[in-house]
Structure 1
């Protein structure tokens, strides 16, 4: 991959990644509730999942999965079920402040690395997207392994940076709102969106 192609690839994936999705919503919600530092596992888990899916797609396994209707729909419905689970869990764990005005121990923010990784790795639409997208930037005249490494590292870096920016912006926007009640409302709105996304994925 020459430098000009890499620039085009980087700009293109930045625009794609910038479109808010379930992982972005999870990142924004967590950043607002527990802060950027504690939300970093979400970024790592989601970006790692995307990098793995890119690698799978690039070496041809993505085409096999897409060609197998049973396997494709199995992953699709598992991903949808997990979205619904996250939404239900977020709704049920949304609690008011205690007498000192502090939130209860936020169990919903535990295992964020596993949550974000599972959410990312069970998205079959990403596999289909990568199958269609990657060939536009891969040259048969250059080392395939080198190009794959550049693609994976670039995607991981851009994805990581984008989610960090979403987290920072979300903190800036709500930084002046020190209200547990409003945070609880945000949790429930996010929960509804997660469930809706999960239901929509099965249609």
Structure 2
């Protein structure tokens, strides 16, 4: 498998980017504390496994049969990263209004799992970005499992970090200055990775 380190960087930045899962984790942490956010965090990570499994069921055959598919997905993935970069650059608010979360842990797990399953970011990431880090001649499913496991572990680590810093940093992240700094840095990073992916050869 090529460039595993680059994959970890890209996956971390993707998980870090604001989205429904991040907002839910922050909301759970602020309402129920750090431990109270854990059921939702594990729900999001479990959802990543399920989405990846759905993608793996057909993607492996396509990639093994067509070199053109790799090229196509490479450019689709690059466009996706450029889109995220522009979106992050233009962000005005890092933490939206708090969502209503359930007081029961198992319901928070189901709520987070549902959000991840319905979040197009995860599915698009697995379909468009994963192929760039898998060798066609290697064992596809073993490589895919390693990448998915790494991604899900990053979800747990990053969201736990979000939960821990939620109370202390909420005011700064909600301010125009905080949102501007985080947005610009994230935007530049995603734009750079998008250009890198588009220019890379398989």
Instruction: Please tell me the TM-score bracket, short chain as reference.
Output: 0.5 to 0.7
The structural deviation recorded for 1:167 is: 0.5
List per-residue Cα deviations over 1:67-109 (Å, max 9, x = no partner).
xxxxxxxxxxxxxxxxxxxx9982xxxxxxxxxxxxxxxx733
1:146 counterpart residue number: 142
Q: Say which one has the larger Rg.
A: 1
Measured in 1, the distance between the counterparts of 2:24 and 2:143 equals 31
Measured in 2, the distance between the counterparts of 1:133 and 1:22 equals 20
Of residues 14, 38, 41, the one that matches 1:40 is 38
Check 1:141–1:89 CA distance in 2 against 1; reply closer, same or farther (3 A cut).
Answer: closer
Judge conservation of contact 1:35–1:171 (CA < 8 Å) in 2.
no
2:123 counterpart residue number: 127
RMSD: 2.8
Of residues 149, 161, 168, the one that matches 2:164 is 168
Measured in 2, the distance between the counterparts of 1:168 and 1:36 equals 6
Judge conservation of contact 1:43–1:163 (CA < 8 Å) in 2.
yes
The structural deviation recorded for 1:33 is: 1.3
1:55 counterpart residue number: 53
Judge conservation of contact 1:56–1:62 (CA < 8 Å) in 2.
no
TM-score w.r.t. length of structure 2: 0.60
The structural deviation recorded for 1:131 is: 1.2
The structural deviation recorded for 1:41 is: 0.5
Stretches (4+) displaced over 4 A:
61-64
Unaligned runs of 5+ in 2: 63-96, 172-202
Unaligned runs of 5+ in 1: 65-86, 91-106, 176-203
TM-score w.r.t. length of structure 1: 0.59
The structural deviation recorded for 1:38 is: 1.5
Check 1:62–1:38 CA distance in 2 against 1; reply closer, same or farther (3 A cut).
Answer: farther
Measured in 2, the distance between the counterparts of 1:128 and 1:62 equals 15
Check 1:62–1:32 CA distance in 2 against 1; reply closer, same or farther (3 A cut).
Answer: farther
Measured in 2, the distance between the counterparts of 1:88 and 1:171 equals 13
Judge conservation of contact 2:24–2:99 (CA < 8 Å) in 1.
no
Of residues 81, 84, 103, the one that matches 1:109 is 103
